[in-house]
Amino acid sequence: MTRCAECGGPVKTRREKHYRYAECGLPNVIVDGIEVSECQRCGETYTGIPAIEGLHRAIAAAVIYKKGRLAPEEIKFLRKGVDFAKRMGTTPETVSRWENRKAPMGSAADRLLRLLVAKETPVTEYHVDVLAQLAGAERPTKPARLKMARGPKGWKFQPGPALVGVSRPETQ
């Protein structure tokens, strides 16, 4: 029997069909088939997410293809490393304002961030013109609702009618 790392109590594990993956920093990401373990004594929970780097790449790919401007939470999720502001041609203070809803990210910066992520994220299965899709999207939108599932080739975005604000990517 598995024991809790906090109190040593017994741990019960279940597979959760639609796990809300708030730990990634985005409020609307649902991941299918995640193992969740909970201590029966103290209530501490542990999640087992396989291939988490691949999941994060798949989430990033789905976010950059959503309709509308990036939400502050999505900006924070997509940026990587301390040189982000420099790569975007701005200051760390400006990035902080984007992420804390103090100032909206401009459309040119939104597009540049998406292109930077696309360059670093292998998204070979999508054939969507991101820049054309964003034309006219002037206001920031709410974070996209994303449903992620792990298949034989890794994590994939599962488009569906419940996912408002995300365009359905075309596959090969």
Alpha-carbon span 112 to 115, nearest angstrom: 5
Q: Is the overall model pTM greater than 0.75, yes or no?
A: no
- pLDDT category at 101 given cuts 50, 70, 90 is very high
The CA-atom distances, in angstroms, between 129 and each of 4, 56, 63, 66, 124 are 48, 22, 14, 11, 13
Kindly state whether residue 111 falls inside one of the protein's structural domains: yes
Q: Determine the average pLDDT of the residues in 62-66.
A: 91
Kindly state whether residue 62 falls inside one of the protein's structural domains: yes
Alpha-carbon span 64 to 81, nearest angstrom: 18
Which pLDDT belongs to residue 123? Answer: 41
Alpha-carbon span 145 to 39, nearest angstrom: 30
Kindly state whether residue 30 falls inside one of the protein's structural domains: yes
Output the CA torsion sign for 123, 65, 107, 89: negative
Kindly state whether residue 67 falls inside one of the protein's structural domains: yes
Kindly state whether residue 163 falls inside one of the protein's structural domains: no
Kindly state whether residue 4 falls inside one of the protein's structural domains: no
Kindly state whether residue 64 falls inside one of the protein's structural domains: yes
> Residue 116 belongs to what domain range?
11-157
Mean pLDDT of all residues belonging to the chain: 81
Which pLDDT belongs to residue 131? Answer: 46
Question: What's the structural domain count of the chain?
Answer: 1
- pLDDT category at 82 given cuts 50, 70, 90 is low
Give the max Cα distance, the chain.
Answer: 57
DSSP state of 69: B
Kindly state whether residue 2 falls inside one of the protein's structural domains: no
Buried b (16+ CB within 10 A) or exposed e, 109-138: bbbbbbebbbeebebeebeeebeeebeebe
